[in-house]
Amino acid sequence: MEQVKTEVCAGESAGAFVFQSRPNHSLTRFQERLVFWSLAALCFTTAIGFAWMGYWLILPFAGLEIGLLAWAFEVLRDRAGDYETLLIDGDRVVLEWHCGHRVSRREMNRQWARVECDCSSPGRNCRLSLNSHGHATEVGQYLNDEARLQLAAMLRSRLQG
Amino acid sequence: MSDAAHAHDDHGHGHPTGIMRWLTTTNHKDIGSLYLWFALIMLFVAGTMALLIRAELFQPGLQLTNPDFFNQLTTMHGLIMIFGVIMPAFSGFANWQVPLMLGAPDMAFPRMNNWAFWILPVAAFLLMVSFWLPGGAVAGGWTMYPPLFIQGGISYDLTILAVHIMGLSSIMGSINIITTILNMRAPGLTLMKMPLFVWTWLITAYLLIATMPVLAGAVTMLLTDRNFGTHFFNAAGGGDPVMFQHIFWFFAHPEVYILILPAFGIVSQVIPTFARKPLFGYASMVYATASIAILSFIVWAHHMFTVGMPAAAQLFFMFSTMLIAVPTGVKVFNWVATMWKGSMTFETPMLFAIAFVCLFTIGGFSGLVLAIAPVDIQLHDTYYVVAHFHYVLVSGALFSIFAGIYYWLPKWTGHMYNETLGKWHFWLSVIGMNIVFFPMHFLGLAGMPRRIPDYALQFTEFNQIATVGAFIFGFSQLIFLVVVLKTIKGGARASDQVWEGAQGLEWTLPSPAPYHTFETAPVVK
Q: Which residues form the domain of A137?
A: 6-25+81-160
Q: A1 lies in a domain?
A: no
Contacts 24+ apart (CB under 8 A), A125-128: A125/A1, A125/B13, A125/B516, A125/B519, A127/B11, A127/B13, A128/A152
Identify whether B453 is preceded by a cis peptide bond (ω within 30 of 0): no
- Set of chain B residues whose Cβ sits within 8 Å of the Cβ of A118: 13
Residues A54 and A96 reside in one and the same domain: no
The answer to whether residues A68 and A103 belong to one domain is no
Test B519 with A143 for CB contact under 8 angstroms.
Answer: yes
Residue-level pLDDT at B3: 39
What is the distance, to the nearest Å, from the Cα of residue B129 to the centroid of all Cα atoms in its chain?
23
Count of CB pairs separated by less than 8 Å, A with B? 176
Instruction: Give the 3-state secondary structure of residue A138.
Output: strand
In this structure, is residue A86 part of a structural domain? yes
Long-range pairs of B9-15 with CB within 8 A, sequence gap ≥ 24 = B9/A129, B9/A135, B9/A136, B9/A137, B9/A138, B10/A136, B10/A138, B11/A127, B11/A138, B11/A141, B13/A118, B13/A121, B13/A124, B13/A125, B13/A127, B15/A121, B15/A124
- In a domain? residue A69: yes
- Distance (Å) from the alpha carbon of B519 to chain A's nearest alpha carbon: 5
Domain count, chain A: 2
Q: What are residue A93's DSSP bridge partners? A: A88, A108
Asked if B154 and B134 touch (Cβ cutoff 8 Å), the reply is yes
Residues B179, A143: C-beta atoms closer than 8 Å: no
Q: Are residues A48 and A102 in the same domain?
A: no
Chain B: give the shortest CA distance to residue A141, in Å.
Answer: 9
Could you give the CA distance from residue B278 to residue B503 in angstroms, rounded to a whole number? 9
Cβ distance B519 to A1 less than 8 Å, yes or no, reads yes
Instruction: Give me the residue spans of the domains in chain B.
Output: 22-508
Select from A46, A77, A108 the last residue of a domain. Answer: A77
- ipTM for the predicted complex: 0.90
CATH for A134: 2.30.29
Please tell me whether residues A93 and A156 are part of one structural domain. Answer: yes
User: Which among A5, A35, A127 is the nearest to B520, CB-wise?
Assistant: A5
3-state secondary structure of A11: strand
User: Which chain A residues touch B224 with a CB distance below 8 Å?
Assistant: 57
pLDDT of A150 reads 86
Residues of A in contact with B220 (CB under 8 A): 57, 61
- Digit-by-digit pLDDT tens for chain B (525 residues) are 333 344 344 444 456 778 888 999 999 999 999 999 999 999 999 999 999 999 999 999 999 999 999 999 999 999 999 999 999 999 999 999 999 999 998 999 999 999 999 999 999 999 999 999 998 999 999 999 999 999 889 999 999 999 999 999 999 999 999 999 999 999 889 999 999 999 999 999 999 999 999 999 999 999 999 999 999 999 999 999 999 999 999 999 999 999 999 999 999 999 999 999 999 999 999 999 999 999 999 999 999 999 999 999 999 999 999 999 999 999 999 999 999 999 999 999 999 999 999 999 999 999 999 999 999 999 999 999 999 999 999 999 999 999 999 999 999 999 999 999 999 999 999 999 999 999 999 999 999 999 999 999 999 999 999 999 999 999 999 999 999 999 999 999 999 999 999 999 999 999 999 888 887 677 777
Same domain, A94 and A152: yes
Question: Where does chain A have alpha helices with state H?
Answer: 29-52, 58-79, 145-160
Could you tell me if A117 and A95 lie in one domain?
yes
Confidence check: pLDDT of A13 > 70 = no
**Nearest CA distance, A151 vs chain B (angstrom):** 14
Q: Nearest CB to B105: which of A4, A54, A106?
A: A4
Q: Is residue A70 part of a domain?
A: yes
Residues A47, A14: one domain?
no
| Contact residues on chain A for B10, CB-CB shorter than 8 A | 136, 138
pLDDT of residue A2: 34
A21, β-bridge pairs = A8, A84
**Chain A contact probe: residue of B113, B160, B184, B219 with most A CBs at under 10 A:** B184
Rounded alpha-carbon distances, angstroms, from residue B409 to B403, B413, B443: 10, 6, 38
CA distance B110 to chain A (A): 7
Is residue A110 located within the same domain as residue A151?
Answer: yes
C-beta of residue B392 within 8 angstroms of C-beta of residue B428: no
Contacts of A98 in chain B (CB under 8 A): none
B22-508 falls under which CATH superfamily? Cytochrome c oxidase-like, subunit I domain (1.20.210.10)
Q: Which residues of B are catalytic, by number?
A: 77, 106, 142, 169-170, 253, 255, 257, 268, 302-303, 328, 331, 450
- C-alpha span between A44 and A63 (Å, rounded): 8
Same domain, A148 and A91: yes
pLDDT tens, residue by residue, B331-388: 999 999 999 999 999 999 999 999 999 999 999 999 999 999 999 999 999 999 999 9
Among B28, B180, B519, B524, the strongest candidate for a mutation testing the A interface, having the largest count of A CBs within 10 A, is: B519
Q: Are A37 and A12 members of one domain?
A: no
pLDDT recorded at residue A138: 87
Indicate whether A12 and A48 sit together in one domain: no
